[in-house]
Amino acid sequence: MTDRRLSVSVVVFQPDLEALRGTVASLRQAVGRARDRNALDSAAVWLVDNGSSREDEVDRVVSDALEPAAAWLELHLLRGQGNVGFGRAHDLAIEHSRADYHLVLNPDVLLDTDAVLEALRYMGEHSKTGIVAPHVVDARGRRQFLCKRRPSIFVLWLRGFAPGFVRERFRARLDHYEMRDLPEEEVTTGIPIASGSFMFARTRVLREAGGFTQRYFLYFEDFDLSLRVGRIADIAYVPRVRIVHTGGDAARKGWAHRRMFIQSAFTFFQRNGWKLL
């Protein structure tokens, strides 16, 4: 394996400090395992703070979680840009990166100890792969379906806002969108859309695709990027790369998040073509 550098970007805004601690600690363990197995030489973690009010606490949590400190593991803090949104904040880290691979990581994700190692192994053996999507479970161990097919307006309404009895009536359509037919323990290529909660990517592919567009503040920036990456490289679901994801579900986060979700959905369809049903 010739590519041996990894950068990781984690974007925060008023984060849950305990969740952030868990994310960074699991990341430290995963990159340490990859280096111990001779799959990685160095890693750099970019914490992009979009305006947290408790900067000292955030810094302490991240620094403590990266212990034991190591010369091969760097921590970079990016601040002062204001709340520029999820995608633009990750782009700031990607622009600074000098690594061969880049991991876009949410602060509500726990990595399996072998997650980075398995992602590096798969990328090293499959040169046409641009993004690896992981096997995901929630905090209770239930499988999450974060790989998606291209959405329609109707499906997004069903999934986010329709009453439960309506969703059940159209369960087959929702299951198709959420790729519930995806074999749980088999590598699957040609994934249309990967989740921005964990995108293990070739840095050059992210740059060639143009990174996350600034047209989105929050939501759907990962959909847009996935479609652009899919035109130049493969997106693969690799079940040996495993994470726990505790966040998501914009519809349950109040009207501000619902409004952002709707605005970003409009932008997505405007940029990528309208699909009603």
11-49 residue pLDDT tens:
999 999 999 999 999 999 999 999 999 999 999 999 999
* φ, ψ for residue 220, nearest 5 deg: 75, -5
| 172 belongs to a structural domain | no
Q: How many domains does the chain have?
A: 1
How far apart are alpha carbons 228 and 213 in whole angstroms?
11
Apex CA 93: angle with CA 223 and CA 10, to 5°? 70
| 161 belongs to a structural domain | no
| 174 belongs to a structural domain | no
How far apart are alpha carbons 168 and 208 in whole angstroms?
40
With a cut of 80, say whether residue 249 has pLDDT above it.
no
Range of the domain at 79: 5-147+182-246
179, 105 Cβ separation under 8 angstroms? no
3-state secondary structure of 239: strand
CATH number at residue 207: 3.90.550.10
The pLDDT of residue 247 is 76
Average pLDDT, the chain: 95
| 170 belongs to a structural domain | no
227-245 residue pLDDT tens:
999 999 999 999 999 999 9
| 169 belongs to a structural domain | no
pTM over 0.85: yes
| 152 belongs to a structural domain | no
| 160 belongs to a structural domain | no
The stretches of the chain forming alpha helices (DSSP H) are: 17-36, 55-65, 86-96, 115-125, 153-161, 164-169, 171-177, 203-209, 221-230, 255-272
Amino acid letter, residue 30: A
